Structure 1
Amino acid sequence: MPQSDSMRAALAEVLRIALPLMVSTGMFSLVLFIDRTLLLWHEPTQMGAAMAAGNLFWVTICVFVGIVSMTGAIASQYVGAGQRSRIGRLLWQSIWFSLATIPLFAGLGYFAEALFEATGQAPSLVPMEAIYYRILLWGGAGEVMQTALSGFFSGTHRTRTIAIVSIFSGLVNLVLDLVLIFGIDPAWLGMAAVDGGERWLEMGIAGAAIASVISFWFKAFCYGGLLLLPNFRKTYGMVSGMCWDARMMKRLVYYGFPTGLMYATEAGAFSVIVLMIGRLGDVPLQATTMAINFNMVAFIPLVGMSIAASVLVGQHLVRSGPEFAGRRVWAALIISWIYASAWALTYWLGADILISLYELNPTAAETVGDASIAADATRSLQIAEGLLGFVAIYVVLDATQLILAGALRGAGDSWFVLVTGLTVSVTFLVIGVTFEPEWTRNTPSAFQALQWWWWILTGWVIALGLAMTARYAQGSWKQMRMV
């Protein structure tokens, strides 16, 4: 490593590592956006149900995902320390950990209906939410495992591989969505129509969940197959490391658990907010889902930048020192601020154009046979356009907290990230519940309550950004190591 460094070099390195990761996470956000849009076109209420159930699914698995996600940061420090042969054993601990989650996730599906009924969801949404959640749980272990295995490629700076696998996985998900949500019309194949005009394999929200499960496991198998290539087996000990190592497992859990619990804290708080909005009625939940989907299009690619900041901080702290690591963090922040500011302007100036992409499929109301669905969808579009103004307020600080939290985790400061996230999340949820205005479902008072919960969401993100900034500036991360 050269003894001198420059911001130009830091920007170049961050872009080289981060761009493929942003493509990967961006592909995920695009698939999620398309998935929910297709459900809107199939039946509008299914989109809101998928939002609520998908959030609960993430809350269910995110502790485990967070634990194995540290494979990337730890592997990067092994690379910086010249101990590449230990990475294979680290990965195998994460694989055993992932497989152990299968019976847990399968068992949780039994309680799906009770979970949603307990949160006071609209009765019409509960059956759809339950089936979506129950099916997704069969892919939970696959999502945990693909996160663990992708950590090798991010930690060793092979991020192009992650982008390529994610693109193929996204395409698989998209094709399966189209087939399993809408089905196949026999007439397309020159065959007689089925009685009642039904299509083959048309499963709606259940089909969307099945497509997601297949894509989770597809990525896990792709990464697993690549890791068995001869050059990886020899250099990184992929075969020799196939054993149980209690000490390494303890290290993985010690550094990963606060990360996973932080994911659970943030996701849990967000899910509670969405579930609180779900009590207000179908229209507020649909509008929130539309706005959040556009927020995710901007936010999720920044997760790739956060991963890049994490692995670069981890590697440079061990190999080059805190000055080099800090310069990579600044480079990641500059790129993220430019990206987030562009989205903020888009939300302010082009909200009507963005939301128009969600216009109800003309055949949907006719298919369902209920004109009120079209009216509700139109109302949802109008509300969602206003909600994007909230996203524009907090999107830059959201980018800041994401990058700095990634940098702190890369250094090993994951316990502070956890405690801070937990404190901020609980504080804003208590404020939200305590001072929530009175409302009646599907009335003007419900829309006032909707505005309240969006202010809570905005304040929560801003507080997280300020807290992460203060911790990073304090500088204790510069003396931390994980290997």
Structure 2
Amino acid sequence: MITALKEVLRVAIPLMVSTGMFSLVLFVDRTLLLWHEPSQMGAAMAAGNLFWVSVCVFVGIASMTSAIVSQYIGAAQPKRVGQLLWQSVWFALATIPLFILIGEFAESLFRWTDQPEHLIPMQAVYFRILMWGGAGEVLQTALSGFYSGTHRTRTIMLVSLASGCLNLVLDVVLIFGLGSPSPETGQRFLELGIAGAAIASTLSFWFKAVCYAVLLMKPTERERYGIFRGIRLNRRMMKRLIYFGLPAGLMYVTEAGGFSVIVLQIGRLGDVPLQATTMAINFNMIAFIPLVGMSIAASVLVGQHLIRSGPGNAIRCVVAALLVGWGYSFVWAIAYVFTPGGLIALYSLSPTGVDSEAAFAIAETLLGFVALYVILDATQLILAGALRGAGDTWFVLTAGLTVSVGAVIIGVWWQPSTGRFQDPGAAPAALNALDWWWWVITGWICTLAAVMAGRFAQGKWQRMRMV
């Protein structure tokens, strides 16, 4: 077990740092928007979720590059890696016109979901700009899969740190601007607010893709993995990528879609519940997103060990990943229970209004829900990654789809009667509905953890192969 733990940490720690940088960027991004204009933070939350729903099925397909690469390495077929990478590149570039087209319907999408009228223009701008970076996100996911699949996760960490620093600098400049406010408009040079945050994120997506593309042009990589020889479209390999990746992508879209429905329902309650939810989710993401790195590590280690040394070592690596994930999540659970006020106080470092003060108080109580499910969230994420690494992607999809749809149906069907928080006398009903939706989120995650644990224990995944 000690050997497995060392192997997991060697692969996972750079990935956790990489994904942790992503969560830090999101946290700072939304906090800066709160300081610039509180309603912009809630708008960015809803629009960012819809962006992820729009691109995640394609990101999920591209993400299977890492697991398939790991199996090619385990099978001693490194020359096939270059062919696979090029299929993922063509796939990513083909998404560009689709994403731009979706962005053109931004305002209609938010109006259709009955968002507060004053938030819709901000949400539409943020979403439309992010869609220009959608293909960049798909491409960088595919290319980073080469480095995770070959266990060179330190490269992913360094690229992510560089991209994160670029994003943070651009956030500060493009949200708040430079220099003194103009006497005519009251705005600073380049002060773009929520649009600036979206531009910063879009540029960082493409920056990461370019970094990986440059690194892959190194002579040693080109020769060992047949990078240039695989440039042609290979329909058989493209079909394999889509066959194993589509369930992962659809799993992402069902989970993200369900979560977006919940956030949009909370948005209907008013600015304050949406701001409070965004604050709590931001801290949840700080704990959750680094565990995506652990999930990727479990996926690539399971894929490689199944081919190279059998299921025994794969199981030991998954157990080691769970132990690390549980320990990490437990620390956050303690913080959510005993210091919620100190965490939420980070948002109050800039002058805020009465509504924001109310959101701070509500957000502290919502962190109690996060503490309830954070360890089980780690469990379902790591086990789902292990199952995908073996090729059991269709079960992960079916289970995720069933649980996600069930959670949304239950939430909508039994949602308490509500009004907007700001309406006279409606605050208690709105808060009651807010608590209901957070119970739905908690039950959803607990159920996913139970289902993934049952499938892993069953052991059918041990006989699966993708190459």
Aligned match of 1:131: 125
Tell me the equivalent position of 1:248. 237
The corresponding residue for 2:442 is 458
Letter of the 2:274 counterpart: L
Residue 473 of structure 1: how far off its partner (Å):
0.2
Does residue 216 (structure 1) correspond to residue 205 (structure 2)? The answer is yes
- Deviation, 1:418, is 0.1
Pairing of 1:19-418 with structure 2 (within 5 A): 19-186=13-180, 194-359=183-348, 361-362=350-351, 374-418=353-397
- Distance in 1, matches of 2:291 and 2:186, equals 44
CA shift at 1:323, angstroms? Answer: 0.3
Distance 2:11 2:355 in 1: 44
Per the TM alignment, residue 194 of structure 1 is displaced from its structure 2 partner at its CA by 4.8
Evaluate the alpha carbon distance shift between residue 185 and residue 194 of structure 1 in structure 2; reply closer, same or farther with a 3 A threshold.
Answer: farther
Could you tell me the TM-score, scaled by structure 2's length? Answer: 0.98
Once residues 286 and 429 of structure 2 are traced to their aligned partners in structure 1, the CA distance between those partners, rounded to angstroms, is 30
Task: Give the superposition deviation at 1:198.
Answer: 2.3
1:395-446 deviations in whole A, cap 9, x for unaligned? 0000000000000000000000000000001111111000000011112101
Task: Give deviations 1:79-110, integer Å, cap 9, x for gaps.
Answer: 00000011011000000000000000011111
In structure 2, what residue type is equivalent to 1:148? A
SS of corresponding position for 2:453: helix
SS in 1 for 2:247: helix
Partners of 2:218 and 2:228 in 1: CA distance: 11
Which stretch of structure 1 is more off in the superposition, 137-146 or 351-360?
A: 351-360
**After TM superposition, what 4+ stretches of structure 1 lie above 4 angstroms from structure 2?**
none
The question of whether the paired residues in 2 share the 8 Å contact of 1:185 and 1:198 is answered with: no
Q: Counterparts of 1:197 and 1:438 in 2: how far apart (Å)?
A: 42
How well do the aligned residues superpose, as a CA RMSD in angstroms?
0.8
Q: Tell me, which stretches of 5 or more residues in structure 2 are unaligned?
A: none
Contact 1:360 1:377 in 2 (8 A): no
Q: Identity of aligned pairs, percent?
A: 67
* CA-to-aligned-CA distance 1:433-479 (integer Å, 9 cap, x gap): 00000011112101110000000000000000000000000000000
Segments of 5+ residues of structure 1 without an aligned counterpart are 1-6, 188-192, 366-373
Residue correspondences, number: 462
One-letter amino acid matched to 1:284: P
Partners of 2:63 and 2:407 lie apart in 1 by 27
Alpha-carbon distance between aligned partners in 2 of 1:438 and 1:186, rounded to the nearest angstrom = 47
Q: For residue 479 of structure 1, what is the aligned residue in structure 2?
A: 463
Cα distance in 1 between the residues matched to 2:297 and 2:183: 52
**SS of 1:358 mapped into structure 2:** helix
How far, CA to CA, are the matches of 1:381 and 1:226 in structure 2? 44
2: CA distance, partners of 1:183 / 1:312? 45
For 1:10, the aligned partner's letter is A
SS at match of 2:318: helix
Between the aligned partners of 1:128 and 1:452, the Cα distance in structure 2 is: 27
In the alignment, is the contact (CA less than 8 A) between 1:40 and 1:360 conserved in 2?
no
CA drift of 1:195 comes to 3.3
Provide the TM-score with structure 1 as the length reference: 0.95
Which of 412, 417, 426 aligns to 1:438? It is 417
- Cα separation, 2, equivalents of 1:235 and 1:279: 54
- Worse-superposed segment, 437-446 or 268-277: 437-446
| CA distance in structure 2 between the aligned counterparts of 1:133 and 1:67, rounded to whole angstroms | 22
